[in-house]
Structures are given as C-alpha cells and as structure tokens.
Chains A and B, each alone.
Chain A
Amino acid sequence: MQHPAAEEAGCDRNPDHPTFKHKATSWLRFLAFSAVLLVVFFCGLLFVGSQPQQETDVTRAIEVKPGQMFFNDDHYHLSSQGGQLVEYPLDIPLSQWRQLPHLVIEATLNNENVWAQVLWKNGDDVVASSQIKNSQLAVVSLPAVVKEWDEEALSAYIQFGPLLDLGAASGNNDFVYQRMRLTSDSVITRWQMLWSHWQTFTPLRASALNYWSIQDITMPTALWLMGLLTVWLLGCWFMGVSLNQLTIAILLLWLVFSGPWLVNQVNNRAFINQRFDELAEGINDEDQSILQFSEQLRAELQSQNADHLPLMLALRGDFHRTRMAYHLHDLPVFMMTSDMDLDVLKRQKAVTEMLILTSEAVLSDCDLSHSIFPEWQSGELILQMDGYCVVKR
C-alpha cells in the first residue's frame, strides 16, 4: 500500500546494480573496519589502565556467630535466619579493599530466590551499595564514593534476603558460595566481570517493577561501548557504507545482545503460566487468603450495617495492605498512619464511629489493652477472624 504521494519519498530501494566484485570489496572493507573497532574495544576495555594480577582470599571474612553459617558440599551456607533481610559484617579493612578493589565471589548458588548486595556504612548510614549478581562468578567492584571516602571507620556488610515475587518468597533463601577473594583491577578480573555481566542479563520476574532494575554493566564498560558504537556508526556514515550492510550489521548486533533477553522472556512466560495456571482468583496463596478474608469481612460488616463506616487499614507489608485495599474497593477504605488523630478524622468525615482493620502481627491476640496506640484502647473489638482484628472506635 502506498501513500498518495509515496512516490516522492526517500531513498531508492534499488539505486543501481553493483557488480559482485564491487559488492565483495565493499563488504570486506566494512567487515575489516568493524573488526578493527571490535578489537580496539576489547583491548581498551581489558588493558587500558589495568594492573598486574594480585589477589587475597577472604572466604572466611564474614563475621558470623555460632549457628549462622555451615559448610556443606564444598559450599558455605550463610543463614537467612528464616527468610528475613539479614546482614553480616565483612571483616575486610578498607585500605586492603582500596588496593584490591574487586570482590570476586565464586559459585554463588543462591540463584533465583535470594537478593544480595554488599553495603558500605558510616555508622547506620548507607554510603554505597553494590549488587551481587546471581552468577556462578559474581564480581562486586568498590564504588567510587567508597574509594574517595576519607573515613577509615567505614564498614562493609553483606546483606541478603528473599527475592520477593508478588509479595511472596520461595525456596531456600540462604546465601551460598564457595570462595571469596579480593583481586586487583587486572585483565583477568575485567574479563571475569565481563563474563559475569554477559551471564546475568536482568531476569524479568513476575513482579519486576519499572524502577526495580539491576544495574547490568559498569560505567567504564558502558562508556567504552558507547564510544565504540558512536565511532562505528559515524565511520560507516563517512565511509558511505550501504544502508543494507549497515542494517544487517546492526540487526546481528541487536540479536546478539537481545538473545539472552528473548530466551529469558520465553522461559519466564512458561514459568508464569505454570505458576498461575491453577489459581482461579488471587495472585498467589497469600492473596487468595486476603481475598477470602475480605469477602467474609464484607459480609460481616453488612450484617452489622457497618459497611458505610470508614475502614482504616493498619496492616504490615506493602503487598498485604495494597491487596486488602484492592479487594475491599467497594468500602471507604483508608491506609492508616501512626500519627493519625482518629477523633479529628471522625469530625472531618462527619461520622461518629469508624473501623480499624489490623492483624495479630500488629495487635497481639487482638487484645486492645496491649495496643501501642492509646487511641485504640477505647475501641471495641467487633471481629476476630483468621488472624485479623476489626476494632470499632
């Protein structure tokens, strides 16, 4: 289909018919130019400013108490203490780290269930963090801000916890590794870093949020890559490389870089379909229980003619609170904050009573006398069910 005036447009599809020799020469010239740039890119990335290989073993530099770590099948297992976000101090002096700025962690087997990073803290303040990739060989580089930090008191920690997917954790959340070593900024380390990046393209998870992305390549690699592509494209432009040659080259380049991502997306699609296949409603088991409770609560409030009252949600966890609010969308639901004055709110909303929905995780045994909020103590418990408490006040 052509636009009415499409004939006037753009380039010629077949401007002329070059001979085979001309075509071959043109391709050879283009390939030679691309190959030279590729070699320059890799040499620059690996060799420019590199240091001789030096390393020191820090496998046992994690400070643990009895019971927090065990050794099994040639691997160290660092306990997640029941699937929480935990951190362990790293006994590595900053001066040593500055000399050998890369921490190489071998055979990390935490894979898909654990999210881990190295933190640098000044007291309680986090100065910098660097993610540990889910790779057989993870390389953590000392951040620039830590290199320039003038306080020797800076301390490092390894922090990890369950990788939540739609509010739920799965599998074993221990951090498992075989060996850790500090290495210099050598050619070998740089190569290992590149290989690690290549193997760990950001996996798309079911709950991958738009801002929750793993930094995939380092700044120097990105700058070298940008430089290479800019010089390459501009070189092709000045050399008058044909559109077809350039397009095919970009197409191949794009396929090489997006290949792991395409495979990952297909795998992830299969995983998601398998995971949600048997769920009629609800996102996961936790959501299913929230949905069931919300239906019971709605019926109960309707029977008590209290479904018009503002319902304040005082629940723990973003997933829990937002899914409860979603399932109770037909009620006047409000996310409660700890500094809220309920009496003022009642006046504003022109009601004499309001409801507070909380859980036994917040209000032990639904016992109002134990509430940390004095305002709640003058309320009346009207419902205790499935670990939830509803207070009328």
Chain B
Amino acid sequence: MMVLHGLLMWIMLNSVGHQLLNVMMKDQRSIQAPWDALPAFVGLLVLIVWAQLIQWLHLPTNLLYLLPVLAAWGLVMGVLNKTIDWRQPRRWLMMALMAVAVWFLVSGMPLAAWDSWLGWEMKAQQWLDHGLSAPLHRYEDWVKQPGGWVNPTAHYPDGLSLLFYVGLQWFANNQWLAWVLALMYVQLVVTVTNHLDQKQAPISLQVLAGLMLLTLPLINNHIMMFGYADIWLAMVMLLVVIRGELWNQFHQVNDGRLALMLCALLPAFKAEGWVWMALLLFAHFFSKFLIRKHRWVVVLLAATMILLWFGLDPWAHSWAGRTVVISQSLIQMGDAFSLQLIPQDVSFEMFSGLFLQNNWGLLWFFLPAVLVVWAFGRYPKHTQVSQTFLVLSFVAFVVLFTFTDASRWAENYTAINRITLQLAPVFVYLFIATWLDQKRAA
C-alpha cells in the first residue's frame, strides 16, 4: 500500500508541476524531457508554498485538497490533449530503469531517520493534533512561557515537515515519503543524463554520471533512511546549477525564472539554504564581472589577505560611536556586521569526512585534478558560474568549520558530512562536465 501512496503523491507533484510549467513555458514544452525532475520539484514548490500560506493565514486545511484536484485535472487534460505520449520508447525504457533504481534505493523500513522522527516528522504529527498553526517551541523556549508544545526543530524551516504533514492528512503513515524521495532522486539522475545528452555527451559519460549519482554511499543512506532535509537541499541545488547553466548559455528568460524559483526552495528546507542561495546568486554575478584571465589576480589577492590577516596585529578604529575591528578572533563593522571567530584545527575531521570514511566512494579524490583542470583549462563562459559556486561553497565550508563555533559539530562528523552531502551531487555533475566542457589550450 505504501508504494501506491508514494506513487500517488509523486504523480500529484509531477502533474501539479506540469500545470505550472505549461502556463509558464507555453511555447517551450520541448525542454521537458521524459521523466525530467523539473515538474516534480516545481510541484514540490507549489505544495510547500500553498501549505505555508494556509499555515500563515490560518486558512482551512481542506484547501490542501485543491492540489490533488489540480493534479487530476492536469492528468485528464494531458490524456485528452495527447500531450502525454505513452508510445515513446525512451519513456518506457527510462521507466524500467527508474523502477530498478528505485527498488535499489528504497529499503522498506517502517520509519524515518531518528532525528526526523523526533523533529520534522513529529512537527507534522503535532500540527495534525493541535492545528497547522499550533505554537511549537524549542526546549529552551518552551520552559520560559506558558502553553505550547515542544519540538526540537521548531526553529527550522517548515518545508520538510509540511511535506510530511500533507501526506499524513491522507495516509496513515509516513512511508510514502521514502518512495517519493527515491523516485524524485532517480528523476534527478535522469535529468542529469538528459542534460548531458543535450550537450551531446557520449553515452558512456551519461552512464558514468548516472552510476556515480546512484552509488554514493551517504546519499543512498539518506534516501533509505528518509526524513533528513539535507538530501532535499542537495537535489534542489543540482537542479538550480543545471538550470542556471542553461540560463547562462542560452539566455532564455524561463530558465532564469526556473532557476530563481528552485532557489526559493532551498531555504524552505534548512537555514543553510539561505547561504547556498546567496552563494549561487553571488557566483552568478561574480562570474559575470570576472574575466577569466583575472583569476590568478583574485587568487593572489585572497592569499595576500589571508597572510596579512594571520600575520598582522589586531586592528581597531572607532569614530562617531562605530567601531571597526579586524583581528583573528573578531571581525566587526560597526553595528552592521559582527563575526566572532574561534579558530580550531579540524583539518583531520574534514579530511576524514571527505576521504577516509567510505561516504563518497572515490568522488572527492578527483577534486585536486578537477581544480587544476579548471584553473588551467579553457571553458565556455557559462560553465564558470557552477565552478565558481563550488569553489565559493568549499571556501565557505572551510571557513565555517575552521573559524566559527560550528567546529564543535565537526568533531563527530555530523555537520561536515551533512554539508558535504549537500554539495556532493553538484560536484558529481561538475566532475562530469569538467571533461565534457573543457577545451584544452593548444
């Protein structure tokens, strides 16, 4: 039964997404290849935004039934207008491969991951018990005020919990989510191979991309132990990178709109989604203004700044009640910005998370070669956005764990492995694209 529930939800997300995409891109349906993940993720965005609106405006939760109605309408119209062409062989072949991959990824466990059952899933259960707008508090907040219910993820964005909630409205348990997650992940793999096919990549490269994405141990782990938010961030980020690349290459407004819409999904799942969104936007603008031949100047400037920052004594200056401090323990710009720095040596933990544990197969072992090829190879301008994003993300990752309080989470690998997970699918795609896109200087 849970397979059926999962399929129904997945079809609903895809159908709702298709409706919106058809409205947005009436003249460009051809860019949606069979089983592309884009409609499913747009449907997910619609679902989360709609549920969040119902929550914020205290609307009746019965309004959620508009989603299956819209999905059914879309399916009926699709069949009547024959826009769903079931005779395409590629569609059936991909469906068979997807079924095998999903079977491989879904474990059939009757539970979500442990911190999900205590956090995100329980939040959905509490909304069911006490209403979608019920006041939920963290432990430390709950003890300070009357009433309310405790939830350790009360301060987290509601995206994943709303997904649990919508399903729990209609089904008795949460296992449908395992199927939806696995189906959407496999759809994403199909999207990557479709995108590579559009770039005229050889079949072997498409197979390699699919295999790499389907055999990353920690990714598979998070799909089997469904209920973590990190895997959703990882999937959305890869879609944004692909859509952003298309936007930069072909300058179609719809690609840009879609990239921005998908970006909006990032903070719906986790707070660090804001950081990824900011880095994606920053990478875009940075790449627009940075001419490739200046890259060594940028690296030199960054290295000089780091050396000065480590080498020089703390510097502070005050005027008109504002203070600017630049030291190894504090960076402060008046009242506008203040960052307490707590340098910690967590290099072993970072190295271990990437290379010593069997979380990523050989994936990150390719990183040094990829960075060298990026630095010395020649690439089309549109591919530099994604490359810049990965470099910026890695710098942010290193700064976060080396200089902030987050280093305490590094010690048991919790945060390091999760953030690496969020970046891993993007790196798989960029690794593949590195060899496809590069045109070595003669």
Contacts and interface: CB of A to CB of B under 8 A. Distances in A.
Interface in A347-362: 348-351
Interface in A263-293: 265-266, 268-269, 272-273, 276, 279, 281-283
Interface in A208-238: 208-211, 213-219, 222, 225-226, 229-230, 232-234, 237
B129 A3 contact: no
Given A1-B198, A229-B366, A272-B108, A329 B221 contact: no
Interface size range on B against A: 35 or more
Given A6-B199, A11-B200, A325 B372 contact: no
Interface in B85-125: 104, 107-111, 113-114, 117-118, 121-122, 125
A305 interface: no
Given A229-B362, A268-B107, A3 B211 contact: no
25 contacts: A1-B34, A1-B198, A4-B31, A4-B252, A8-B249, A202-B217, A204-B220, A207-B225, A215-B356, A215-B357, A225-B362, A226-B368, A237-B373, A243-B202, A244-B204, A250-B208, A254-B212, A261-B217, A269-B108, A283-B111, A326-B125, A330-B130, A335-B150, A349-B145, A350-B147
Contacts of A248: 204
Given A10-B437, A254-B362, A330-B129, A213 B417 contact: yes
A333 B150 CA distance: 7
Given A211-B413, A272-B108, A5 B200 contact: no
Given A209-B114, A247-B204, A272 B109 contact: yes
Interface string A179-213: 00000000000000000000001101011111101
Secondary structure of the B contact surface, majority rule: helix
A251 B206 CA distance: 10
A234 B373 contact: yes
B198 A3 contact: yes
Contact of B202 (A244, A253, A334, A351): A244
A210 B122 contact: no
Which 6 pairs between the two chains have the least Cβ-Cβ distance? Answer: A233-B369, A330-B129, A350-B146, A211-B414, A213-B357, A216-B358
Interface string A236-262: 010010011011101101110110011
B139 A335 contact: yes
Given A204-B221, A254-B362, A269 B198 contact: no
B194 A1 contact: yes
A2 B356 contact: no
B356 A217 contact: yes
A14 B110 CA distance: 49
Interface string B24-46: 00001011111000000000000
B358 A213 contact: yes
A282 to B, nearest CB: 8
Contacts of B310: none
B435 A246 contact: yes
A95 to B, nearest CB: 26
B351 interface: yes
Nearest to A218: B356
B418 interface: yes
B149 interface: yes
B133 interface: no
B252 A233 contact: no
Given A5-B249, A233-B369, A332-B149, 11 more contacts: A8-B250, A10-B436, A210-B218, A210-B417, A222-B351, A226-B368, A232-B369, A233-B370, A269-B224, A325-B122, A332-B148
A9 interface: yes
Interface of B: 28, 30-34, 104, 107-111, 113-114, 117-118, 121-122, 125-126, 129-130, 139, 142-150, 194, 197-202, 204-205, 207-208, 211-212, 215, 217-218, 220-222, 224-225, 228, 230, 246, 249-250, 252, 351-352, 355-359, 361-362, 365-366, 368-370, 372-373, 377, 380, 412-414, 417-418, 421, 435-438, 440
A322 B201 contact: no
B357 A216 contact: yes
Interface of A: 1-6, 8-13, 166, 201-202, 204, 206-211, 213-219, 222, 225-226, 229-230, 232-234, 237, 240, 243-244, 246-248, 250-251, 253-255, 257-258, 261-262, 265-266, 268-269, 272-273, 276, 279, 281-283, 319, 322-323, 325-326, 329-330, 332-335, 345, 348-351
A3 B200 contact: no
Given A210-B221, A261-B358, A322 B114 contact: yes
B440 A240 contact: yes
A11 B436 contact: yes
B228 A210 contact: yes
Chain A CB within 10 Å, residue with most, of B114, B146, B417, B436: B114
Contact of A211 (B148, B212, B412): B412
Chain A CB within 10 Å, residue with most, of B250, B370, B380, B437: B250
A215 B118 contact: no
Contacts of A229: 362, 365-366, 369
B61 to A, nearest CB: 17
Contact of B417 (A211, A232, A322, A334): A211
Contacts of B199: 6, 9-11
Contacts of B356: 215-219, 222
Nearest to A349: B146
Contacts of A330: 125-126, 129-130
A256 to B, nearest CB: 9
